[in-house]
Amino acid sequence: MSQGFESTDNTLQADGVALARIAAVCGTPCYVYSSGQLDRNVERLKTALRRALPASNQPLIAFACKANSNLGVLNHLAGLGLGADVVSGGELVRAQAAGIDPARIVFSGVGKSDEDIEYAIRAHVAQINIESAPELERVVAIAQQLGITARVAFRLNPDVDAQTHAKITTGKEDNKFGLPAEVITPLYRQAAHTSFIDVQGLSVHIGSQLTTLAPFREAFSKIASFARQLAAEGLPLRSLDLGGGLGIVYDREQAPCLDGYAELIRELISPLGVKIILEPGRLLVGDAGLLLARVTYIKKTKTRQYMVLDAGMNDLVRPALYEAWHEIRPVVDSAAPPEMYDVVGPVCETGDTFARDRALPPLLAGDLLAIMNAGAYGFAMASRYNTRPLPAEVMTRNGHFRVIRHRENIRDILEEEAIPAW
């Protein structure tokens, strides 16, 4: 049985399931996730780590839920032995509902509310990554009030340029995330001597969609050096959370070398003898998902030819938000000479554009297209803009598919609202 997305008999399939069959049952737009590709991506990362690191110190792989938080996806990854990195109370609830042990959950994020912190402490998560002095005060106060020990780590801002899109870089000095070493040091000392606080170590995360290893080397070197300084003071140091950020190939990027990444961890982090935590997101789910859409109209003007889809920027916002490039494939292969199209959605925004001047075979209204590599930050960032119901989500496996989120309808949206009686 084929795994991932492949063309068979000139028709694009997911784990042996024809996408046309999914569209006929579930409608479009619709997100489709290949469990076979998820398996393959997790195994690639684990294999690289096994080659580089001893069996006694294999990292906790805490999947970054923000990339794709569907319960079906999280449960599948939990079955592969993964934990979770969450950045909200809602994601923590999702991770637990999907069957992930809170002891394998890391709570990150720069703006945790009191409710978030209380829930994390009550759940006994692996660690709460502290991002500011006021946040530490909140965690201490809530832990003492509850009488429950909170495990914490401190997020280092290493001032490293991740060489990625400005909106997804998180490790520069002028980014809102983390703290410099000189600020963490006194907070770390304070926390190490505070009741109901158990200091675990440090965390770092410099950005998303990194395809070269140089920024990781710089960040890992800085966190390792800082960790040695803390340990030399006799302060507790049990874990280093190295974040995520490994990218995928959307267009012509060079895929990051997982063996090289694992070797960096072996060289720079493993000698410290601490528990290692990784937070991959996009790497595991990005190419395991696509957005299935149908052509609504072909519109020609004097200067452009538009392919108008039934999917819009509310369904997949990455092209509008990040100028992101996604491969667009007809579900049925065609040998016809390509034409140039602007591929757009129905949303009332010029920014509702998936691609400009894209070469595609001639298509007609009703034909199906797949927007590839949409498994990360696709549905997770979807909205109801223009009162457009959220799409369905489907998972495939070994020739079968299951709906893991039902398509919304207008009634679902209206039932959440009310007209005031006055």
Q: Which residues are catalytic?
A: 348
Strands (DSSP E) contained in 310-366 are: 328-330, 339-344, 353-360
What does the block give as tokens for 137? 């005060």
Q: Are 128 and 120 in contact (CB under 8 A)?
A: yes
Residue with tokens 């490994």: 246
DSSP string of 273-297?
--EEEE---HHHHGGGEEEEEEEEE
Spatial distance between the Cα atoms of 17 and 397, rounded to a whole number of angstroms: 8
Could you give the 3-state DSSP secondary structure of residue 415?
Answer: coil
Q: Are 280 and 288 in contact (CB under 8 A)?
A: no
b/e burial code for range 67-94 (CB count within 10 A of at least 16 → b): bbbbebbbbbbbebebbbbbbbbebbeb
